[in-house]
Amino acid sequence: MADHQKRFEGIVRNLKGHGYKITPQRLAIIGILAKSDGHPSVESIYDQIKGAFPTMSLATVYRNIVLIKSLGEVLELGFPDGSNRYDGNKPYPHPHVICIKCKKIVDPHLESLDQMKKEVSSETNFKILNHRLDFFGICGDCLEENNE
């Protein structure tokens, strides 16, 4: 899990470099963003740390995430139902697979992504700067549950 540790240290360094104080609450939030593969929501981050910081509010967690996002250290995935999820492991555009039942979000590794970008670019004459590529489906766990 060296990468997670590197991400954690990188986010802390960036905050410090911009003159932000590193409070224990902030460290806990950064820890979850950097170390979880599951693309947590603000609510799930709050649930994971409210035991350790009983006086902290959901709004504080949200404000910290907005700050970390403003430094480019977390990718926000917004959804039409208003539920945002966050990826602090890969703060750059990348494809996602989303389970419509349990809302699990996974990062697939797509060999064809670069090719796809080239195709879009040559077909539209756009210089591609960014992308958002979401696949929706039903994950293996949820499929199994259905079959029981």
Nearer to Zn ion, 107 or 133 (CB): 107
Nearer to Zn ion, 12 or 105 (CB): 105
Show the CA angle centred on residue 10, arms to residues 72 and 78, nearest 5°. Answer: 35
Nearer to Zn ion, 18 or 101 (CB): 101
- The CA distance from 139 to 15, in Å, is 36
Contact flags string 82-101 toward Zn ion, x per CB under 5 A? -----x-----------x-x
Instruction: Kindly state the helix (H) or strand (E) to which residue 97 belongs, with its residue range.
Output: strand 96-99
Q: What are phi and psi of 102, to 5 degrees?
A: -100, 0
The residues, ordered by sequence, that sit 6+ positions from 130 with a Cβ below 8 Å of its Cβ are: 93
Contact 120, 127 (CB under 8 A): no
How many residues bind Zn ion, per CB under 5 A?
Answer: 8
CB of 110 to Zn ion, least distance (A): 12
CB of 39 to Zn ion, least distance (A): 6
CB of 103 to Zn ion, least distance (A): 7
CB of 55 to Zn ion, least distance (A): 31
Contact flags string 95-134 toward Zn ion, x per CB under 5 A? ----x-xx-x--x---------------------------
Nearest to 19 by CA among 81, 71, 75, 62: 71
Task: Please give the residue ranges that form the binding site for Zn ion (CB under 5 A).
Answer: 87, 99, 101-102, 104, 107, 139, 142
